Amino acid sequence: MSPALGWPLLLIVTAAASAAVGVAGIPGPALFAALVVGVGWALLVSRPKLDLPGPAFTAAQAVIGVEIGLYLQFDTLRAVSHDWLPVAIVSLLTLVVTLLAGLALARATDLDATTASLGMVAGGASGIVAISDELGADDRLVAVMQYLRLLVIVMLTPVLASVVFGATTGGDGGDGNALMSLDGLALTVAGGAAGLLVARLIRLPGGALLGPMLVVGALALTGVVGGIEVPEVLRQLGFAAIGLQVGLRFTPESLRQARETLAPALGAIVGLIVVCAALGALLSVLADVSALDGYLATTPGGLYAVLATAVASGSNATFVLAVQSLRLFVMLLAAPPIIRRLARARANVS
């Protein structure tokens, strides 16, 4: 089979798998499905050997960067303006806990500190996976750990909200993005291009994602792009491209290492969830919100699933979105350079 036939077949299978995963209710269905399909293709199909073109991966990172940047709305900041100090404290403590979980996982396994730490970053799974290879991590193992964390959170959040907090949950977790719109298309293309240019000028690490995120975030904060969303078609294509980029690079050896990592990674994820729940209890006291609001606001990732639970249970969804979005920015901006510096320090010591 030639690449000319291989790529259409791979994309058709990916689209079908994405639809099936979406029906199953797993968040980020295109990324998850593309990751699984890519792994299957890499391990089971010897010819042709497919690799995602570099420009396609860069474009996918830019689309996701624009998507994340749009979370930074003025209304979001206003929702936590009176409680900015406890929110900042909890966000920074979550970052510290993430780094400690990653270092502990690296000590307990054969993972390097960079891969383990990025795998434990609490939030922004698609963004972390997209820039992990550039940061010197094994993006295949980072993707496995990030999606393991997401799946655990998606399964646990509505259960804990109901059993522990007595909430009644249900409803749709969809985000309502338009399939395609001219203003959304223009913003995604222009914001992505401008962000890539800015990132190149200032030599920003992970610039293909962080550049568009910062540029569009600044526009969203001023209200210039209020109400505009990344078209669902571009959004899902971006997720799928990132999933294929990672999945197609799997080998039998990397799959064996991922399997050996699952148990300790799951333990680290459970510990991370427990500590974040404690931080949620602290936030509920400091910010004078309900215990459920505090828990949902500090859940380590799974933004869409958390918001769906917040809306369905009648919680303060605006507060939950505000804290989760701000922490997402903290994680994506602060965690990568800190992890890179820690890895260099450990290398110098050894």
Q: What is the mean pLDDT of each run of 10 residues along the chain (350 residues)?
A: 84 92 73 86 83 91 88 77 89 90 90 90 81 87 87 78 73 59 94 95 83 91 86 89 86 83 92 94 92 92 72 76 83 82 70
Distance from C-alpha of 209 to C-alpha of 188, rounded to nearest angstrom: 12
Looking at the chain, list the stretches that DSSP marks H as alpha helix, in order from N- to C-terminal side: 3-24, 29-44, 54-69, 74-79, 84-108, 113-120, 125-132, 139-163, 182-202, 207-222, 232-247, 252-286, 291-298, 303-312, 317-349
Is residue 301 classed exposed, middle or buried when 0-12, 13-18 and 19+ CB atoms within 10 A define those classes?
Answer: buried
Distance from C-alpha of 23 to C-alpha of 228, rounded to nearest angstrom: 26
User: Is 314:295 a contact under the CB 8 Å cutoff?
Assistant: no
Instruction: Look up tokens 């526009």; give the residue.
Output: 219
Return the CATH number at 46. 1.20.1530
Number of domains in the chain: 1
| Phi, then psi, of 113 in degrees rounded to 5 | -60, -35
Distance from C-alpha of 3 to C-alpha of 49, rounded to nearest angstrom: 8
Residue 4: Cβ within 10 Å count:
8
User: Is 105:268 a contact under the CB 8 Å cutoff?
Assistant: yes
User: Is 209:135 a contact under the CB 8 Å cutoff?
Assistant: no
pLDDT the model gives residue 280: 94
Dig out the tokens for 72 from the structure: 């930074």
What is the number of alpha carbons within 13 Å of residue 19 lying toward its C-beta? 5
Distance from C-alpha of 63 to C-alpha of 310, rounded to nearest angstrom: 27
Distance from C-alpha of 262 to C-alpha of 132, rounded to nearest angstrom: 19
pLDDT the model gives residue 267: 93
Is residue 217 classed exposed, middle or buried when 0-12, 13-18 and 19+ CB atoms within 10 A define those classes?
Answer: buried
| Phi, then psi, of 275 in degrees rounded to 5 | -65, -40
pLDDT the model gives residue 56: 93
pLDDT the model gives residue 334: 85
Instruction: Look up tokens 């209710």; give the residue.
Output: 25
Q: Report CA 15 to chain centroid distance, whole Å.
A: 20
Residue 61: Cβ within 10 Å count:
31
Distance from C-alpha of 111 to C-alpha of 102, rounded to nearest angstrom: 10
243-279 b/e with 16+ CB inside 10 Å = b?
A: bbbbbbbbeeebbebbeebeebbeebbebbbebbbeb
Q: Which domain holds residue 30?
A: 3-349
